[in-house]
């Protein structure tokens, strides 16, 4: 148990940041999962691929925005977000530009 006032404060602030970081990461995973599910659905329905393109691009922009927001808040490192964006972009391009 902490004895100093500053140590007690750090414990409280660490708990708050931990909750925020966890919720932010969970939110990111949800956005990424929705985007991936849409791509899978589009890949299965190749005949109607064009109708999925606008929705996929919109979801991709939202995911990228949320990843950048996580970086600015210190939840993710810049390289981690860049890697995730790169991989998602590659999947999007592979499906719709082929």
pTM across the whole model: 0.87
Q: Is the pLDDT of residue 57 over 80?
A: yes
Cβ 2 vs Cβ 11: under 8 Å: yes
Cα atoms found within 13 Å of the Cα of residue 15, Cβ hemisphere only: 5
Going by pLDDT thresholds of 50, 70 and 90, the confidence category of residue 39 is very high
What per-residue confidence (pLDDT) applies to 40?
94
Residue 83 to residues 9, 77, 86, 95: CA-CA distances in angstroms? 35, 10, 5, 19
Interacting residues of 56 by C-beta distance below 8 A, sequence separation 6+: 35, 38, 39, 42, 92, 95, 96
Q: Parse the chain into domains and list their residue ranges.
A: 24-96
CATH architecture of the domain 24-96 equals Up-down Bundle (1.20)
């Amino acid at each position: 148990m902490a004895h100093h006032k500053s140590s007690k404060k750090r414990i409280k602030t660490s708990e708050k940041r931990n909750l925020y970081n966890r919720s932010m990461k969970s939110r990111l995973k949800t956005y990424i999962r929705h985007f991936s599910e849409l791509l899978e659905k589009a890949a299965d329905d190749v005949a109607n691929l064009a109708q999925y393109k606008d929705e996929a691009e919109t979801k991709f922009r939202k995911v990228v925005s949320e990843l950048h927001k996580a970086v600015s808040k210190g939840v993710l490192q810049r390289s981690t977000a860049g890697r995730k964006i790169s991989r998602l972009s590659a999947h999007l391009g592979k499906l719709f530009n082929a």
